[in-house]
Amino acid sequence: MSARKALDVLKTISVGGKDIVSAGYLGSISVEGDEAEVILLLPPSLQGQAEGIRTAVEKRLTEAGFKPHVVYRIRQSAPPLRVNVGPVGQTKRRIPGVKRLLAVASGKGGVGKSTVAVNLAVALARMGTRVGLFDADIYGPSVSVLMGLEGERVYVTKDKRFKPIEKFGIKVITFGVLVKEDTPILWRGAMLHKAYEELLMQTAWDDLDYLVVDLPPGTGDSHLSLAQGYQLDGAIVVTTPQAVAMADVLRAVKGFEKLEIPVLGIVENMAYFQCPENGKRYFLFGRGGADKLSKITGLPVLVRIPLDEYASNGADAGIPVAHAYPESPSGKAFIELAELIQRKVISTL
């Protein structure tokens, strides 16, 4: 069984006179053995027919001998594309060697921003794109722990640029390997801005499709220097189902909007735990946080990432789940997120 064959099957299904592949309704397809996983991305105008289309796809794939898992998502209309202009009217800067700059943010601490940033970067790289990760959290850089970078060094090249660490298929710069663990970090204001500036602009990123930035919690200094000074192509906002996360996250969304940075959508992390024995979902942190946020902001919920031991053990071991366990519940969700981001960013640029 091949993805090609599944694709041919999908091409035989037409909606409104066009087959669903040429109409652009196929979000992603992956085939392993006889299992075919299909994500459909449908326009809002097809919302009423979505379930019918989903079952038609499932039926046709079954007839062709596949074991299909088909889900659909209603595509939100893309935010209008703007040329970002800085506070004094100049165009914001681009980082040398970086095509698209994405930020993962929250406003709320401990919701899994760094986990999302690391795994999104790794999952984008698995899809064949060139990806870098910049850990902008000076006070609590956790990327070095999540990626097992202890003992790694950032070297300076002959032309005085920083050479990022390469691991799990991505290029990484984090303050975690630049600042020794026992050094108190008392950088403030101007110094922080300068450190950022140098690291971002003077790293030999070397022709990246994406640079993912892991922003620290809150809406403080580093958010502003990044958001005001550089042309951010999109922000991804991470939240948990808990209502307590809402207000802070909403503030972060508003902050981006004020700075005219397109927010690509919401990621609901720790959305549920699915029991591997009986498949039952347990909503340990409540339900509905991301949906509520989506209703208020009009932003789409991109993906719901389950809580699982693969993500947490991977974090402790310094191995991202999207690298080591792409088939685990959280691994799959991160890969789905990367696929959505890739489509979204490409369609809005």
Ligand X SMILES: Nc1ncnc2c1ncn2[C@@H]1O[C@H](COP(=O)(O)OP(=O)(O)OP(=O)(O)O)[C@@H](O)[C@H]1O
User: What is the contact surface with ligand X in residues (CB under 6 A)?
Assistant: 106, 109-115, 137, 140, 142, 216-217, 269-270, 305, 307-308, 311-312, 315, 330
Of these partners, ligand X, Mg ion, none, which one is at the site of residue 311 (CB under 5 to 8 Å by kind)?
Answer: ligand X
CA-wise closest residue to 149 among 130, 135, 137:
135
How many other CB atoms are there within 10 angstroms of residue 314's CB atom?
26
Nearer to Mg ion, 71 or 317 (CB): 317
Nearer to ligand X, 244 or 349 (CB): 244
CA-wise closest residue to 30 among 60, 65, 5, 50:
5
Nearer to ligand X, 106 or 294 (CB): 106
User: In whole angstroms, how close is the CB of 216 to ligand X at the nearest point?
Assistant: 6
User: In whole angstroms, how close is the CB of 94 to ligand X at the nearest point?
Assistant: 26
Q: Are 27 and 40 in contact (CB under 8 A)?
A: yes
With 0-12 CB in 10 A as exposed, 13-18 as middle and 19+ as buried, what is 264? Answer: buried
Angstrom distance (rounded) from CA 312 to CA 149: 17
Q: What's the order of all strands across the beta sheet hosting 26-32?
A: 26-32, 35-42, 67-74
User: In whole angstroms, how close is the CB of 282 to ligand X at the nearest point?
Assistant: 13
Nearer to ligand X, 10 or 252 (CB): 252
Nearer to Mg ion, 113 or 171 (CB): 113
User: In whole angstroms, how close is the CB of 308 to ligand X at the nearest point?
Assistant: 5
User: In whole angstroms, how close is the CB of 116 to ligand X at the nearest point?
Assistant: 7
Nearer to Mg ion, 75 or 113 (CB): 113
Nearer to Mg ion, 213 or 333 (CB): 213
User: In whole angstroms, how close is the CB of 114 to Mg ion at the nearest point?
Assistant: 3
Of these partners, ligand X, Mg ion, none, which one is at the site of residue 138 (CB under 5 to 8 Å by kind)?
Answer: none
Q: Is the four-CA dihedral 283, 289, 291, 294 of positive or negative sign? A: negative
Tokens encoding 147: 């990626």
84 touches Mg ion (CB under 5 A): no
User: In whole angstroms, how close is the CB of 174 to ligand X at the nearest point?
Assistant: 12
What DSSP assignment string belongs to 202-264?
TB---SEEEEEEEPPSSSSHHHHHHHHHB---EEEEEE-S-GGGHHHHHHHHHHHHHTTPPEE
Nearer to ligand X, 27 or 107 (CB): 107
Contacts to Mg ion from residues 121-180, by CB under 5 A: 142
Residue of closest CB approach to Mg ion: 114
Q: Are 215 and 141 in contact (CB under 8 A)?
A: no
Tokens encoding 199: 């690291």
Of these partners, ligand X, Mg ion, none, which one is at the site of residue 231 (CB under 5 to 8 Å by kind)?
Answer: none
Out of 84, 114, 231, 240, the only residue in the binding site for Mg ion (CB under 5 A) is 114
How many other CB atoms are there within 10 angstroms of residue 83's CB atom?
8
User: In whole angstroms, how close is the CB of 264 to Mg ion at the nearest point?
Assistant: 19
User: Which listed range, 105-113, 200-208, 231-239, 331-339, lies at the site for Mg ion (CB under 5 A)?
Assistant: 105-113
Vertex 263 angle, CA 163 and 330, to 5°: 70
Q: Which amino acid appears at position 135 of this protein?
A: D
Residues in contact with Mg ion by CB under 5 A are 113-114, 142
